[in-house]
Amino acid sequence: MKNYTEEELHIISLLNTQEEENINLAEQLCKGQKIDFEELVENVFGLSFWAELFPKRIGKYTVSSTQLKHLLKKNDDKFIFEKMVQKEGHFFTNITSLDLSNTKIKELPTSIEKLENLESLSLPKTLNTLPTEIGSLKSLKKLNLIGSKITNLPESIINLPLIELNLEESKLKELPKEFANLITLTKLNLSSTQLTNLPNNFGNLSKLTDLNLSRIKVTNLPKSIGELNKLIKLDLSYIQKITALPTSIGDLENLEDLDLNYTRKITALPSSLGKLKKLKKLNLAFTQKIPENLGELSNLELLDLSNTNLKYLPDSIGDLKKLKTLLLDYGRKRASLPESLGGMESLTKLSINHTDIVKLPESIGQLSKLKELSLVCMKMTKLPDSFEQLKELKDLCLYYAKIIQMPDSFEKLEKLERLDLRGTGIMEIPKGIEIGCIVLLDNK
């Protein structure tokens, strides 16, 4: 029998209690004393220590990967997991939540079907396949396969009452033929998978409220996507092979958040986008064109047009009365802004960095709620006379603008808290600036 040190004996006494608080403390003490925690547990108690601990957690009905990492060991993990599930009357069959994400399991045993009360299941990146028996989990509502090596799903998955399915960054190449029969799904994440097409009846997933298709390999979207009339959030960003959106996208009557960032091959967006009356966030960064009827998005609050090659913005942009944030950064071909800009009466943040804009429209003074304005525009030489009307402005950045003199009326901006004049020709703090305002100058 091994002679244990006084520290080790203390740790063993903590483990003997089988109380979670003491077990956590024992693990921390092992780290501090540079004792191999797993080796100590295995030598003293054997692997059964963790299995025997689960029944004592009957009030929680959950098993985490933190607990399982000590039990599921390398090549034995599937065997041990299977034995635990098969053990008659074992607490393991009563759990409602199982997190295996930090284990190294490559496949699940067919006995997984015994977990009839399981509602949430998270699986590891090492997983290669799912058994057909997974379709027997009649209570399963959440399935997490983030980063797994799975290339396809068993047909039996359509038997699950899933509400959330996450396959982000998995190796998934195709969906089951009857995938659209998962009609209970409300949240689906297929981002960064290897999918090259979506089923034509994708719109049958009529309860979806959150759909993430970012970075998938498809060249087109099914027309039926417009039938997802409960969808609130749709992420289509970085789908680099897609060339057009179906006009049916305008039928997503409840959509509030649409991300089209970096869909660079889309040469034109359908005018039907104007029908999205509930849309609040729209990301069109790196897109080539925007619809002329953009102003019809009457509830839009955030619009990102950064890194676009648009020379001009449509006049209808001024009809966005509820817009609070407008991002126009890195638009090198954009030399001017429409006078209608002043119509955005709710705007609080405007960013126009790294563009070729020479001057701002006089109507900018009508933006009575504007608090943050960033103008990193190297060709801009002066501010409009109406600038003094921006009474709510708190943060103004003129970094590297070619402005050599601030207007005399600048002192009327009494709420200004931060002023960045670095790279301009201005070397002194403008007159009338409040004492509490932070001013950044090249010579300060």
d(CA 301, CA 322): 6
119: left (phi over 0), alpha (psi -120 to 50) or beta: alpha
Tokens 């970096």: give the residue. 262
Lowest mean pLDDT among 84-88, 95-99, 317-321: 84-88
d(CA 398, CA 391): 17
Between 420 and 403, the higher pLDDT residue:
420
What's the mean pLDDT when you consider all of the chain? Answer: 87
Q: pLDDT: is 258 or 85 the higher one?
A: 258
Q: 166 — phi, psi (to 5°)?
A: -120, 115
Q: What b-and-e string marks burial along 298-331, b requiring 16 or more CB atoms within 10 Å of the CB?
A: eebbbbbbbbbebeebbebbbbbeebbbbbbbbb
Separation of alpha carbons 312 and 51, rounded Å: 66
How confident is the model at residue 248, as a pLDDT? 97
pLDDT at 113 over 60: yes
Residue 235: strand, helix, or coil: strand
CATH of domain 301-444: 3.80.10.10
Higher pLDDT: 390 or 106? It is 390
Question: CB-side exposure of 399: number of CA atoms within 13 Å?
Answer: 13
Name the residue with higher pLDDT: 247 or 85.
Answer: 247
37: tokens are 């925690």
Q: CA-to-CA distance for 117 and 98, rounded, in angstroms?
A: 11
Q: What does R_g of the chain's alpha carbons equal in angstroms?
A: 30
pLDDT digits (tens, 9 = 90+) for 197-213: 999 999 999 999 999 99
CB 27 within 8 A of CB 37: yes
Residue 345 has pLDDT above 50, yes or no: yes
SS3 of residue 63 by DSSP? strand
Is the pTM of the predicted complex or chain greater than 0.95? no
d(CA 11, CA 296): 67
Topology alike, domains 173-290 and 301-444: yes
Mean pLDDT, rounded, for 118-140 = 93
pLDDT at 57: 40
pLDDT tens readout for residues 251-304:
999 999 999 999 999 988 999 999 999 999 999 999 888 888 999 999 999 999
Q: From CA 96, how far away is CA 130, in angstroms rounded?
A: 19
Which pLDDT score is estimated for 56? 43
- The first and second tokens of residue 264, run together, are 């660079």
- Which has the minimum average pLDDT: 27-41, 192-206, 311-325? 27-41
Can you give the pLDDT at residue 61?
A: 38
| Closest residue by Cα to residue 309 from 326, 290, 327 | 290
Superfamily for 173-290? Answer: Ribonuclease Inhibitor (3.80.10.10)
What pLDDT band is residue 51 in, cutting at 50, 70 and 90? Answer: low
What pLDDT score does 107 carry?
85
State whether the Cα torsion 239-197-252-314 is positive or negative. Answer: positive
Question: What average pLDDT does this structure show over 108-127?
Answer: 88
Q: Supply the pLDDT for residue 218.
A: 96
Task: With cut-offs at 50, 70 and 90, classify the pLDDT of residue 47.
Answer: low
The C-alpha angle 402, 405, 408, rounded to 5 degrees, equals: 145
Cα(68)–Cα(207) distance, rounded to whole angstroms? Answer: 34
Residue spans per domain, the chain: 1-46, 48-167, 173-290, 301-444
Q: Which of 211, 181, 206 is nearest to 195 (CA)?
A: 211
Mean pLDDT of all residues in 155-164: 97
Q: Which residue has the higher pLDDT, 356 or 405?
A: 356
pLDDT of 443: 62
- Average pLDDT value for residue range 35-55: 68
Cα 265 from Cα 253, distance rounded (Å): 25
List the structure tokens of 204.
Answer: 């049958």
**What share of the chain has pLDDT > 90, as a percent?**
59
Q: Measure Cα distances from 294 to 270, 318, 340, 373, 374 in Å.
A: 11, 9, 13, 22, 23
CA distance 121 to 146: 11
Q: What is the pLDDT of residue 19?
A: 80
User: Quick one: pLDDT at residue 52?
Assistant: 56
The SS3 call for residue 176 is coil
* 48-167 to CATH, choices 3.40.190.10, 3.30.830.10, 3.40.50.300, 3.80.10.10: 3.80.10.10
